[in-house]
Amino acid sequence: MKAYRRVSTLLALALVATLVLGLMPVRGASAQAPTATVNTGALNLRSGPGVNYPVVFSVYRGTVLTLLARNANTSWLKVALDNGVQGWVSRPYVYTVYPLATLPVDSSTIPSPAPVPVPAVGTVNTGALNVRQGPGISFPRIRALPRGAQVDLLARDSATIWLKVRLSDGVIGWLNGTYILTAYPKGNLPVEGVYVPPAPQPQPPAYRTHVVQAGENLYRIGLRYGVNWLTIAAANGIAYPYWVYAGQVLRIP
């Protein structure tokens, strides 16, 4: 009977101890929010996961950040500061032992804003370069630019020979891109104009001329130029008896 009472007493004490332990709060690492520490001199918090997003706050080395989320490839982390500010930081600039792959992926941010385009710049590398109203020498001339003048490159023609440019005073025109130095690939400029080839230049005559002197005839003239005299007669429409006169201008093929 005494043994039975002793066992009952021990069981009752064990039950009470279990209840007491069950009511005590459990403290562990899982109850704490994950954190990271800034490991660079200064770090920008941005409104989204990328350098194109605006800066919302700046923090410095040693600042403790609360980790909230990550982007798909864990290259950017969404964090919170003690003052309530939230933003995104670049992963390489923080230190943490927390397994970042377990953070939730946050893809709710607005798309990254497009970067502001920087105009391509060219420099004139000739003594004087004409700026014209269109892509070709047949267009009226606006002005000439001296060597070293800089222009903004806006567009090109279909053959990438003529470039549309903006001058320092805002005037827009076209110039021959052969005489422009630039690090920007000219072929990357948008196509706006159609290449206008130069107007054909008049071809020089395919014959020489000779003024007949007193005492000359077609035979002697042919010997002088190394051309058969009958060929000279045919080129000048001279028929039998093949007479020529002093002062007559002959075409020599």
64: domain CATH number is 2.30.30.40
Q: How many residues does the chain have?
A: 253
pLDDT for res 49? 92
Residue 27 in any domain: the answer is: no
Cα dist from 40 to 82, 88, 90, whole Å: 19, 15, 11
Element (H or E) spanning 3, and its range? helix 2-23
Residue 200 in any domain: the answer is: no
For residue 4, report the phi and psi dihedrals to the nearest 5 degrees.
-60, -40
Residue 6 in any domain: the answer is: no
pLDDT for res 11? 53
Residues 140 and 87 in one domain: no
Residue 75 in any domain: the answer is: yes
**CATH number for the domain that contains residue 223:** 3.10.350.10
pLDDT for res 118? 57
pLDDT for res 31? 53
pLDDT for res 63? 94
Residues 131 and 85 in one domain: no
| CA atoms in the 13 A half-sphere facing the CB of 39 | 10
Residue 15 in any domain: the answer is: no
Q: What spatial distance separates the first Cα and last Cα of the chain, rounded to whole Å?
A: 149
Residue 132 in any domain: the answer is: yes
Residues 142 and 165 in one domain: yes
Instruction: Give the structural domain span for 74.
Output: 32-102
Residues 75 and 36 in one domain: yes
Which residues does the chain have with pLDDT short of 70? 1-31, 109-119, 195-196, 198-199, 204-205
pLDDT for res 164? 94
Q: Which two tokens stand for residue 34?
A: 């994950």
Q: What is the pLDDT of residues 209-218, one digit of tens each?
A: 899 999 899 9
Residues 178 and 149 in one domain: yes
pLDDT for res 28? 42
Residues 172 and 135 in one domain: yes
Helix (H, G, I), strand (E, B), or coil: what is residue 176?
strand
**For the chain, what is the domain count?**
3
Residues 93 and 131 in one domain: no
Element (H or E) spanning 222, and its range? helix 218-225
Residues 128 and 186 in one domain: yes
Residues 72 and 44 in one domain: yes
